[in-house]
Amino acid sequence: MNTITLAILFLHLSLFLHSSSSSSSSSSSSSSPVSVSVTPKTIPKSGDHVTIRWSGVDSPSKLDWLGIYSPPTSSNDNFIGYIFLSAAPGWESGSGSISIPLVNLRSGYQFRIFRWTQSEVANATRFDNDNNPLPGTAHKLAESEEIGFQPGRGPEHVHLALTGRVDEMRVMFVTHDGKDNSVRFGLTRKKMDLVVGTRVLRYEKEDMCHAPANDSVGWRDPGYIHDGVMANLKGGKRYYYQVGSDSGGWSESYSFVTPKAHLKETIAFLFGDMGTATPYTTFDRTQQESSSTLKWISRDIEALGDKPAFISHIGDISYARGYSWLWDNFFNQIEPLASGVPYHVCIGNHEYDWPSQPWKPDWASSVYGKDGGGECGVPYSLRFNMPGNSSQLTGTRAPATKNLYYSLDFGVIHFVYMSTETNFLPGSDQYNFLKHDLESVDRKKTPFVVFQGHRPMYSTCHRPKEVPLKEKLIEHIEPLLVKNKVSLVLWGHVHRYERFCPLNNFTCGSLDKNGVDNWGAYPVHVVIGMAGQDWQPVWDPREDHPNDPVFPQPEQSFFRAGQFGYTTIVATEKKLTFSFVGNHDGEVHDMVEIMAPGQVLIDDEASEEEEATQSWYYVKNICLLVFVAFFAYFLGFTSHFRRDASLDKNWARLKDEDV
Ligand SMILES: *[C@@H]1O[C@H](CO)[C@@H](O)[C@H](O)[C@H]1NC(C)=O
Ligand SMILES: *[C@@H]1O[C@H](CO)[C@@H](O)[C@H](O)[C@H]1NC(C)=O
Ligand SMILES: *[C@@H]1O[C@H](CO)[C@@H](O)[C@H](O)[C@H]1NC(C)=O
Ligand SMILES: *[C@@H]1O[C@H](CO)[C@@H](O)[C@H](O)[C@H]1NC(C)=O
């Protein structure tokens, strides 16, 4: 159920309450003996739970609410989030309790209880970004004492990234004071005797370029961002590390596995648009489904044992959109994974979009808007540090925008990231980088190339305002992908999963009747923005019946799904297997196999009729696939013995639609 539906329900509910409990008026506020208490007074560490208890609420109403404040001096309207007291069992008695995890925002918290009245709902003047009225603060019933976090527990937001060198690993984290902090690391937990210092960065309110990021509703102190590189690492080893300082405390010890120099297997987890889950409602929609995505990925990473892997989150990272604490929430949420596996990102509209962004050609006026909530790329650019040195000046006092485009080798795959938010047209630095990078891949070293960006080149979930951007991507970027035989192209932005045929300018590659390859090594495009954000129109309706709920699937679109999830890549030198895992059951629901140059080519039409939702079909498909692959290999071997090695691809269609 979406927030708007909830809001409507809620209004109905409150009208009902209004008529059934007319005695509950708003005048009870000042004299009411409402008390509110919190335990513990000192929260051991970020993400730990606190319990808020209240009693003495006279004539309890469904409109009574709990506001969560940090710092405790925040004005009544500037809460972090809110929860209706009616979420607590037995709230009708006037007392109850709520237990929630709290993230360390480097200052204390306070809780306040308010009564909101029916006429205030009807006359609301403040709304959240989905147009639901924000709860009113005219009648405060009680406020709690202040609580805080235990000092000396060390830094937070620990996350790793590859630097582009196989013998290095970058670690970033946040402290409240920016004092000297180090990374100590080693090959056993007992002997972390290698030490490296960190570079410290920070951004200020004045670096934000728009509200809410630069006003008192959205801005909170972001802390100090530390960045250190563990170097001279041996390949194929598990390293242990800790971050912190003697004065500020040390983090727990984490570990990661370094890739071998000539790693012959690549494992990656990829998705876009994940966001963060919050235990409260706030000014912008948050992404409860992100917890599920991370839960399943963490299951998969645990199962890998000592194999290295990495995570790729292709834009729309935290969905903070100017509400600074959502970044804290996000990094707290990913820390268990990102402290053990490199976490790679590219930029999305929700990190960047703002009215005066430096590159906004006329044709893009409908494309770029205000989706960044006034952050203009600053938190994104400083809180991550991706390989390469791409950067774009902001034209304001804000630091340049970073982490725009880069590439890295991980085992048998060359990964390339682009920015769909900044200039990618011929003549731009980005275009030159992408062209040069794609043209110089050593396919003996990395037989596969996976290309990623945020806003899709292809999607059958059509938004007219995005069309000019799609056209430019197809005109200028696609020829680079086709010419340089990119294996797989991944996009986010659309909050659904959709896999296309190998594509070039809307044309599917295909086998002709004699089994001869005439598709010319087109890349397989997949939209993977289904990791957490929920809002999304359905698929395109029929053109001549725009309002009828029929959504024909164009022939280029091979599989589309409406459920949340993530994707995985497992690749050897010979074969790249790309799978979509659904969050509802943690099972694989779609899969495509792409063979390295010189291998076979099949179109597994046979399995097209399969139903989608039962896992035994999947198993069956795999068996079938193995058989067909073997058969096709044989065919391929005899019928085109001397084919151009680099032209060949293998893909398999498992099922069509799974909405
Ligand atoms: C809205 O406020 C006005 C006065 O400001 C009041 O007369 C009116 O009754 C309120 N509306 C509702 C639906 O309560
Ligand atoms: C936020 O940025 C806008 C646009 O630059 C500016 O007009 C406004 O004054 C800023 N707000 C604050 C509180 O600094
Ligand atoms: C950094 O940028 C310069 C041009 O500004 C370029 O020549 C150089 O190769 C870049 N370095 C990396 C590591 O990308
Ligand atoms: C794509 O195809 C259309 C015609 O279908 C053509 O006008 C256009 O030039 C093609 N684009 C490219 C980049 O080849």
**Domains of the chain by range and CATH?**
3-149 (2.60.40.2840), 156-658 (3.60.21.10)
Q: 15 CB under 6 A from ligand 1?
A: no
The pLDDT of residue 31 is: 55
- CA–centroid distance, 273 to ligand 3, in Å, is 29
Is residue 512 predicted with pLDDT exceeding 60? no
Is residue 637 predicted with pLDDT exceeding 50? no
Coil/strand/helix, residue 345: strand
Query: Which residue's CA is minimally distant from atom 1 of ligand 3?
Result: 389
User: Can you tell me the mean pLDDT for 421-437?
Assistant: 98
User: Can you tell me the mean pLDDT for 4-17?
Assistant: 37
- CA–centroid distance, 123 to ligand 1, in Å, is 6
Structure tokens belonging to residue 438: 């794609």
Mutate to test the pocket of ligand 4, among 476, 505, 556 (most ligand atoms within 8 A of CB): 505
For residue 165, the ligand closest to its alpha carbon is 3
**How far is residue 377 CA from its own chain's centroid?**
15
Is residue 15 predicted with pLDDT exceeding 90? no
The pLDDT of residue 606 is: 32
Report pLDDT digits (tens) over 517-531: 544 468 999 999 999
Is residue 170 predicted with pLDDT exceeding 60? yes
For residue 472, the ligand closest to its alpha carbon is 4
The pLDDT of residue 597 is: 65
- CA–centroid distance, 541 to ligand 4, in Å, is 24
For residue 206, the ligand closest to its alpha carbon is 2
Report pLDDT digits (tens) over 177-206: 999 999 999 999 999 999 999 999 999 999
pTM of this prediction exceeds 0.85: yes
- CA–centroid distance, 45 to ligand 1, in Å, is 45
Q: How far apart are CA 237 and CA 306, in angstroms?
A: 8
Structure tokens belonging to residue 238: 């598990």
Instruction: Return all residues near 607 (Cβ < 8 A) that are at least 6 apart.
Output: 621, 624, 625, 652, 653, 654, 655
Query: Which residue's CA is minimally distant from atom 14 of ligand 1?
Result: 119
Query: Which residue's CA is minimally distant from atom 14 of ligand 4?
Result: 505
**How far is residue 36 CA from its own chain's centroid?**
36
Report pLDDT digits (tens) over 380-393: 999 999 999 999 99
Q: 235 CB under 6 A from ligand 3?
A: no
Is residue 35 predicted with pLDDT exceeding 70? yes
Coil/strand/helix, residue 113: strand
The pLDDT of residue 20 is: 34
User: Can you tell me the mean pLDDT for 134-138?
Assistant: 97
Q: 388 CB under 6 A from ligand 3?
A: yes
The pLDDT of residue 240 is: 98
Min mean pLDDT across 39-53, 407-421, 535-549 is at 535-549
User: Can you tell me the mean pLDDT for 72-85?
Assistant: 98
Query: Which residue's CA is minimally distant from atom 14 of ligand 3?
Result: 388
Enumerate the H helices of 304-354 as residue ranges: 325-338, 349-352
Other CB atoms within 10 A of residue 401 CB: 24
pLDDT band at residue 3 using 50, 70 and 90 as cut-offs = very low
Percentage of the chain with pLDDT > 90? Answer: 77
- CA–centroid distance, 451 to ligand 4, in Å, is 21
Return the ligand 4 atom nearest residue 505 CA: 1
The pLDDT of residue 509 is: 82
Structure tokens belonging to residue 101: 């995890």
Inter-axis angle of helices 325-338 and 290-303, nearest 10: 20
Q: 188 CB under 6 A from ligand 1?
A: no
pLDDT band at residue 146 using 50, 70 and 90 as cut-offs = very high
Is residue 279 predicted with pLDDT exceeding 50? yes
Structure tokens belonging to residue 653: 């269609």
Nearest C-alpha neighbor of 274 from the set 567, 566, 531: 531
The pLDDT of residue 463 is: 80
For residue 375, the ligand closest to its alpha carbon is 2
The pLDDT of residue 542 is: 85
The pLDDT of residue 209 is: 92
- CA–centroid distance, 436 to ligand 3, in Å, is 12
Mean pLDDT of the chain: 86
Asked whether 382 and 353 are in contact (CB, 8 A), the reply is: no
Q: How far apart are CA 558 and CA 502, in angstroms?
A: 10
Q: 436 CB under 6 A from ligand 3?
A: no
- The winner for highest mean pLDDT among 59-63, 501-505, 593-597, 598-602 is 59-63
Mutate to test the pocket of ligand 2, among 203, 214, 357 (most ligand atoms within 8 A of CB): 214
DSSP state of 170: E
Q: Give burial (CB, 10 Å; 0-12/13-18/19+) of 165.
A: middle
User: Can you tell me the mean pLDDT for 237-256?
Assistant: 97
- CA–centroid distance, 508 to ligand 4, in Å, is 14
pLDDT band at residue 538 using 50, 70 and 90 as cut-offs = confident
Is residue 111 predicted with pLDDT exceeding 90? yes
**Residue 620 backbone phi and psi in degrees, to 5:** -60, -45
pLDDT band at residue 656 using 50, 70 and 90 as cut-offs = very low
Report pLDDT digits (tens) over 619-634: 223 333 333 333 333 3
Mutate to test the pocket of ligand 1, among 26, 63, 123, 125 (most ligand atoms within 8 A of CB): 123
- CA–centroid distance, 208 to ligand 2, in Å, is 8
- CA–centroid distance, 447 to ligand 3, in Å, is 25
Pocket residues: Cβ below 6 A from ligand 2? 209-211, 214-215
Query: Which residue's CA is minimally distant from atom 6 of ligand 4?
Result: 505
Of residues 547 and 451, more confidence is placed in: 451
User: Can you tell me the mean pLDDT for 226-230?
Assistant: 98
Query: Which residue's CA is minimally distant from atom 10 of ligand 3?
Result: 389
Of residues 547 and 516, more confidence is placed in: 547
The pLDDT of residue 548 is: 81
Mutate to test the pocket of ligand 1, among 119, 120, 121, 125 (most ligand atoms within 8 A of CB): 119
- CA–centroid distance, 207 to ligand 3, in Å, is 25
